[in-house]
Amino acid sequence: MTPIPGGIAAAICAAGRRLDARGWVPATAGNFSMRLGADRIAVTRSGFHKGFLTPAALMVVDLDGRPEDAALWPSAETGLHCGIYRRFPETGAVLHGHSIANTVLSCAAGDDLILENYELLKAFPGLATHEARVAVPVVDNDQDIARMQRVVETRWRDMGGAAPPGYLIRGHGSYIWADSMPAALARFEALEFMLACELATRRIP
């Protein structure tokens, strides 16, 4: 069995507390992971509240989502995490959460949700100024995770191979990733701030 280093377990548990404090992982929603090596990731187990994670709430899977310990169940969307690690090998951490803003706005969006002229766009890779326009992909929710991952991969190919800052699942939540947990948290918080601004702006008469 691949051990989960204490630092990685602590980082995932701390991320859960941080996102829970902001109301972004209600009930047992959301899932988090970190890379352990070339072909293993530590991921949250199914059914655990993310605000109260302990190392016992984590497990190890390979990049196809197969558990090392067959007695443990990973989060249902582990296949989406694996797809990110396979496609972007520099990825060190993946966060998935469910905020009011990302849920409502993804329902109202088309194939993309456009963010532009926000200072916090600079949290995304390759953007040195707020004078930017980012199209965050939106994909339809699907209980067939493998099928949804194929849709996500098609969207990535359509973008010409560039890594988007993340993507939204319609009516469901957001996926964000980065090379480390601190960077993923910063990117996640930046996205949620901008989505909250978008939602507030649309409420203005």
From residue 196, how far is each of 39, 41, 68, 115 by CA, in Å? 36, 31, 39, 11
Model pLDDT, residue 74: 94
Rounded distance, CA 163 to CA 177, Å?
A: 10
Model pLDDT, residue 57: 97
Assess contact for 164 and 177: CB atoms under 8 A: no
Q: Classify residue 128 as left (phi > 0), alpha (psi -120 to 50) or beta.
A: alpha
What is the residue-level pLDDT of the chain in tens, covering all 205 positions? 899 999 999 999 999 999 999 999 999 999 999 999 999 999 999 999 999 999 999 999 999 999 999 999 998 899 999 999 999 999 999 999 999 999 999 999 999 999 999 999 999 988 888 888 889 999 999 999 999 999 999 998 888 756 677 999 999 999 999 999 999 999 999 999 999 999 999 888 7
Model pLDDT, residue 159: 83
Three-state secondary-structure class, residue 146? helix
Rounded distance, CA 74 to CA 58, Å?
A: 8
Rounded distance, CA 150 to CA 107, Å?
A: 20
| Tokens linked to 74 | 């990973």
Model pLDDT, residue 161: 59
Model pLDDT, residue 165: 79
Model pLDDT, residue 205: 78
Rounded distance, CA 42 to CA 36, Å?
A: 6
Rounded distance, CA 126 to CA 41, Å?
A: 26
Task: State the fold for domain 6-203.
Answer: L-fuculose-1-phosphate Aldolase (3.40.225)
Identify the bridge partners of residue 133 per DSSP, sorted by sequence position: 116
- Map out the domains of the chain as residue ranges: 6-203
**Number of H-type helices and E-type strands within the chain:** 5, 8
